Structure 1
Amino acid sequence: MPAPTSPADLFRHSLRLLLDKDIPAWVALWAEDGVMEFPFAPDGWPRRLEGKEAVAAYMRHYPDHIDLH
């Protein structure tokens, strides 16, 4: 697939990667200094992940816990 050329294409591509459970490819879309925020995270869960490495570590077990359809 060619590289996404618009924000909408990139969003659709990232959703496809999540649906396919291709976490390494999904993480590859992130900038090194990217941030993921969870403003409503319950106590004991992260509210903010800083950096591609932190996002990758957080998403590492995603395929084992979530099944999207």
Structure 2
Amino acid sequence: MTETIKIVGDNLTLDLILWRKHGLRGLALIEETMKLNPKLTGVYVPVGTDVVLPDLPAETVQAREVVTLFG
């Protein structure tokens, strides 16, 4: 499910918007966000623009082997 936000601040870039919304993992969504918003062409997102943000994919948990040194 996607979310649409309206830009209200100056000098906001797409990577900054994704970082504020999703944290560090949001930076992996830049390409997908550009596909959802083909009208975004410049470095800065203009004030008043509606931007569609994708959701983060489900996080996969990988099992790690535990190594004990004393036992």
| TM-score, normalization by structure 1 | 0.24
- Answer 1 or 2: which has greater strand percent: 2
Give 1 or 2 for the bigger CA radius of gyration: 2
- Between Structure 1 and Structure 2, the one with more helix by share is 1
What TM-score does the superposition give when structure 2 sets the normalisation length? 0.24
